[in-house]
Homo-oligomer: A and B are copies of this chain.
């Protein structure tokens, strides 16, 4: 039997896009791994009617489990606990022991930050956060807000509702306790974990791949395949129950055979491949960036343990900085301009020699919206990667916003790094 869940993310700040929703995707991924199928992630504002209607809609689809995030704070627009209590037909009351625990947490937090607050206002907030539906399982606060698992009132039907806080750190910290709650554990016992595998291609058109999928479809029973194009990379993500492992292997063989010129990974992400290759070969790296302004460097440093191979980088935005910090010759800048293959190479060489790194990367371009010319329009970017045994370079004409041009340039630099370090499909 397929166990299905629905996720409800509350908060006007999420609905209006002021804060990006990180909880819906995170919860969907956790549930998928547990073999629970997620059909909908619904974002609603801080309005009781909208939340209530959404819970009814998802329950009406035959969903086995509902999860909410957000709306557990101390302010009046935080109303999830009350709406869920009503939905499940349960009265609410203050839990005095919980009230004390929350009060202690709030006190510690304020002391640490050295903030002052009106004691009465603080107490009202704490009391609100400790108001829980009758019979609910309380999940201990990770921040200040407790979570809840609320079953339908006795004699009524419907899925349990797991109520989690909005801050991603609190929600994720509370997740193990939510899974351990009896009602959730009982659901999980009936499900089989699904596997997920990913193939990554660089340089194949989605329509071309679609034709291949249609052709081999009759042999793919038991595989749920989705394709997705992201920053020029085509991802094929497949989910299957453990008994379809052999079917998946056959499918992966067909794809990697037909697209051997473009499949660059049968699992790891581009960033994982590059980090692994640098580590395996014992190589260090340094960057010289102009238009990307440190984005590549920040992307490399994002990985834990990157200090083993990242020596650093220079954002040389001004021409004087290119000369002084990375030794780009003034004549080169004068002759070819800052946005040129020659300067990309000089930035890579300069980063390499100034940091004493094995591998250097240079990026220079016109990210826009201003600064373009007829010969070098916005989106013109030169990327160069220099290693102990070779060089890879690429001239790009990118479309889109300043942010898009910068991100795509960094992705291209990562692909050039992959090609230089690992061979395989050309970047």
A residues near B, CB below 8 A? 11-21, 24-26, 28-29, 32, 38-47, 50, 53-54, 57, 61, 73-77, 106, 110, 113, 115, 117-118, 120-122, 124-125, 169, 203-214, 226-228, 230, 235, 237, 286-287, 289, 291-298, 300-302, 304-307, 310-318, 320-321, 324-325, 354-356, 368-371, 399-404, 406
Contacts and interface: CB of A to CB of B under 8 A. Distances in A.
Contact of A54 (B40, B203, B287, B402): B40
Nearest to A17: B25
Given A115-B203, A169-B400, A292-B301, 12 more contacts: A16-B32, A18-B230, A18-B235, A19-B228, A43-B43, A53-B61, A75-B227, A77-B226, A106-B207, A293-B298, A294-B313, A310-B315
B312 A314 contact: yes
Contacts of A211: 118, 120-121, 124-125
B307 A318 contact: yes
Nearest to A11: B228
Contact of A403 (B28, B73, B302): B302
A206 B74 contact: yes
B300 A311 contact: no
A15 B32 CA distance: 11
Given A210-B75, A211-B118, A325-B355, A368 B298 contact: no
25 contacts: A15-B25, A16-B38, A18-B237, A38-B45, A39-B44, A73-B206, A74-B206, A76-B213, A115-B204, A118-B208, A122-B207, A122-B208, A124-B207, A169-B401, A289-B294, A297-B297, A298-B315, A302-B406, A304-B370, A304-B402, A307-B318, A307-B371, A311-B320, A312-B321, A313-B315
Given A39-B44, A41-B43, A110 B401 contact: no
By secondary structure, the A interface counts as mixed
Contacts of A321: 286, 311-312, 355
B325 A317 contact: no
A50 B37 CA distance: 12
Contacts of A118: 208, 211
Nearest to A296: B294
A310 B289 CA distance: 13
A298 B298 contact: yes
A399 B321 CA distance: 35
A315 B302 contact: no
A106 B237 CA distance: 25
Contacts of A371: 307
A345 B40 CA distance: 50
A15 B43 contact: no
A29 B17 contact: yes
A207 B312 contact: no
A227 B311 contact: no
Contacts of A32: 16
A142 B39 CA distance: 30
B301 A315 contact: yes
Contacts of A237: 12-13, 16, 18
Nearest to A21: B21
Contacts of A227: 75, 77
Contacts of A403: 302
Nearest to A400: B169
Given A24-B43, A29-B16, A39-B45, A294 B301 contact: yes
Contacts of A25: 14-18, 20
Given A226-B46, A315-B313, A17 B13 contact: no
B42 A42 contact: yes
Contacts of A11: 228
Contacts of A121: 207-208, 210-212
B205 A370 contact: no
Contacts of A205: 110, 115, 117, 122
